[in-house]
Amino acid sequence: MGIYLPIAEISVNVFVLLAMGAAVGFLSGMFGVGGGFLITPLLIFYNIPPAIAVATGANQVIASSFSGALSHMKRGTLDFKLGGVLLAGGIVGSTGGIFVFALLRRMGQLDLFISLLYVVLLGTVGGLMLVESVNALRATRSGAAPVLKKSGQHNWIHRLPLKMRFRASKLFVSVIPVLGLGAGIGFLSSIMGVGGGFIMVPALIYLLKVPTNVVIGTSLFQIIFTSAYTTLVHATTNQTVDVMLAFLLMAGGVAGAQYGAKAGQKLRGEQLRALLAMLVLAVAIRLAIDLFVTPPNLYSLSAAGLN
């Protein structure tokens, strides 16, 4: 069944989009990530213009992070104060990102920049995760107990000034790295259409030493607002949010997420992480190939004086 997307201005198959949403929802439920980093590249592979894929991806992320944050709020695993400070940074970063986005679009370099960012970020995160999980798998196979890094050890981040107490996270830390992390994620959110959970979660755990149980809820909380802000600004400045497209992805996504969460409980942590790492790397490689392969058309047209 075909449907015409009003903003992307192309006809697409409804079932392909629902399946895409469900598949990414399944994976995000399984791995506990928002899925924005998979949705946007998939939309680009499906010939949705990158500018629209990014803005719509941000819109889609709101739905999955909102439903996730609700359950964490109920369980009390959400640090509102930490989330609030992250959010303050996020708004600044997101505003900067939107400005860069519009500038790159005017220069005709937006598509390239989005692809490059994806290749670098997904390649790095996927590569690190794969190495880590393969090591863990090997360690368990050889029977050795997994070596945990000593927690409570302080690094340079804990010596920065302007300290603030976050009670729910049992944390006393400078606001500078928290604001900086929020700003970085906000910037990526507006340029890549991702929530940024796949960077936020490891950064909160390893850099700020936030207890793991509050990390995901807090990260989801800040992602709701950063991506809501990103969606609003993209809608007003670039008119690139396609609600029809976003709704189809969300509808598939919320259903898929529940089954993914169930399936995730049956797999072991290391296996899950290795699978996710391979998936992330595959997307990065596919995007990288497109950068190097001679395009079928060297010339492209776009409306002058856009934005």
Q: Does residue 6 touch another protein according to CB under 8 A?
A: yes
Contact mark string toward another protein, 47..86, x via CB under 8 A: ------------xx-xxxxxx--xx---------------
Site for another protein in 245-304 (CB under 8 A): 246-247, 250-251, 253-255, 257-258, 261-262, 291-295, 297-304
Q: Shortest approach of another protein to residue 92 CB, angstroms?
A: 19
Residues facing residue 38 across a β-bridge? none
Tokens of 258: 């529940």
Site for another protein in 126-155 (CB under 8 A): none
CA 59 from chain center: how many Å?
Answer: 12
Residue with tokens 């793991």: 212
How far lies 285's CA from each of 49, 124, 181, 275, 278, in Å?
Answer: 20, 11, 27, 15, 10
Q: Of the listed pieces 39-47, 108-116, 157-165, 181-189, which binds another protein according to CB under 8 A?
A: 108-116
Evaluate whether 27 touches 257 at the Cβ level (below 8 Å). no
Q: Shortest approach of another protein to residue 207 CB, angstroms?
A: 28
Q: Does residue 38 touch another protein according to CB under 8 A?
A: no
Tokens of 6: 């009003």
Contact mark string toward another protein, 179..218, x via CB under 8 A: ----------------------------------------
Q: Does residue 231 touch another protein according to CB under 8 A?
A: yes
The H or E element that residue 31 is part of is helix 14-31
DSSP classification of residue 32: T
Q: What DSSP letter does each residue of 123-171 carry, written as one string?
A: HHHHHHHHHHHHHHHHHHHTTPPPPPPPTT---GGGG-SSEEEETTTTE
Residue type, 87: L
Binding site for another protein (CB under 8 A): 2, 4-7, 9, 11, 59-60, 62-67, 70-71, 108-109, 112, 224, 228, 231-236, 239, 241, 243-244, 246-247, 250-251, 253-255, 257-258, 261-262, 291-295, 297-305
